[in-house]
Amino acid sequence: MSNTSRIRNILRSKASKGLDKLEDPRDVLDESYGQLVRMLQQVRQGLAEVATAKKRIELQGQEMGTRHSRLTRQAQEAMGHGREDLARIALERRVFLEGQVASIRTQFTALQRQTAGLQDKERRLAERVAAFRIEKETIKATYTASEAQVRVNETLGGVGSQMSDVGESLDRARDRVAQMRARAAATDELLSSGALGDLTAAPDADLERALASVALDAEVEQQLRSMKSAGSGDAELAGSPQADGPDAWLSIGGEPGAR
C-alpha cells in the first residue's frame, strides 16, 4: 500500500470517528424517512400523470367510437337512398378511423399496464414507508431511553460533570460549617475567660458576673449547712414551695412559710 493510500485511509477513519461523535442516529433516521416519503410522493405524482394520460386517451377513444357509429349509420342511410357514392365516402372515413382507433388502443393498453405497475410499486413503497416509520420511532424511543439511562447512571455514579460540581459544593459547604462551628466555640471560650471583651456589655459587667457567681456559691453553701444542721437530706429547704397547687410556684425562692 502506498503512502498516499495509507494517509487517505487514516483520514477516512478519523472522519468516520468524528461523524460518529457528532451524528445523532435519530436525525439520520428522520432524514432517511423523509427521503422515502419524497420517493413515495414522486411515485404517486407519476401515477397521477399516467392515469391522466390514460383517461385522455380513453375519452378520445369514446369520441372515435361515437363517430364510428355515426359513419356506419350514415353509410346505411346512403345505401338506403341509392347513394352508393355517399356510402363509399362514409365507409372510407370509417376505415381510416378504425386505424386511428387501433393506434390509440395500443397506447391505452400500454398505459393500463404502466398504471398497474405504478400502482403495485406505490402500494409496496407505501407499506415500506409505514414499516420504516414504525421501526424508526421504535429505534428513536430506545435510543432516547438508553441516553437518559446513561445520564442517570453517570450522575448516580459520580461520572457526570454536574454530579462532580454538586459533590464539590457539598464538600465546600461542610468545610465552611466546620470552620464556623470551630470559630463559634473558640469565641465562646474567649468570652468566658475574659480574653475577648464583649463590646455590647455594660461597664464592669465582668465584676457583676463574678459577684453573682460568688453569691450563688454562698447560697448553695448556706443551704447545705441548713440541711446538715437539720440532720436529714429531706429537710425543708429555704425557698421551696410549701404547698402543692397551681400557685405553688409563687413561694419558690421566698422565705419559709411565706405565701
- Range name among 52-56, 106-110, 147-151 with the lowest pLDDT average: 147-151
Q: How confident is the model at residue 243 (pLDDT cuts 50, 70, 90)?
A: low
Q: Work out the pLDDT band at 202, boundaries 50, 70, 90.
A: low
CB 60 within 8 A of CB 101: no
What is the percent of the chain where pLDDT is above 90? 33
* Nearest in space to 59 (alpha carbons), one of 113, 114, 110, 108: 108
Q: How high is the pLDDT of residue 259?
A: 47
Please say if the pLDDT value at position 17 is more than 80.
Answer: no
Residues 6+ apart with CB under 8 A from 98: 68
Give me the pLDDT at residue 250, please.
58
Residue that the C-alpha cell 420504516 belongs to: 132
> Domain map of the chain by residue range?
17-160, 204-259
* Distance set, CA 232 to CA 50, 85, 134, 203, 254 (Å): 125, 166, 96, 44, 21
Q: How confident is the model at residue 42 (pLDDT cuts 50, 70, 90)?
A: very high
pTM of structure: 0.48
Closest CA to 239 of 211, 212, 218, 219: 219
Residue 77 confidence (pLDDT) above 90: yes
pLDDT of 13 over the 70 cut: no
The mean per-residue pLDDT over the stretch 192-215 comes to 67
Task: Point out the least confidently predicted range of 46-50, 84-88, 232-236, 244-248.
Answer: 232-236
pLDDT > 90? residue 73 = yes
Q: What is the mean pLDDT of residues 143-171?
A: 72
The stretches of the chain forming alpha helices (DSSP H) are 3-22, 25-80, 84-156, 161-193, 205-230
The topology (CATH level 3) of 17-160 is Helix Hairpins (1.10.287)
pLDDT over threshold 50, residue 19: no
SS3 letters for 74-109?
HHHHHHHCCCHHHHHHHHHHHHHHHHHHHHHHHHHH
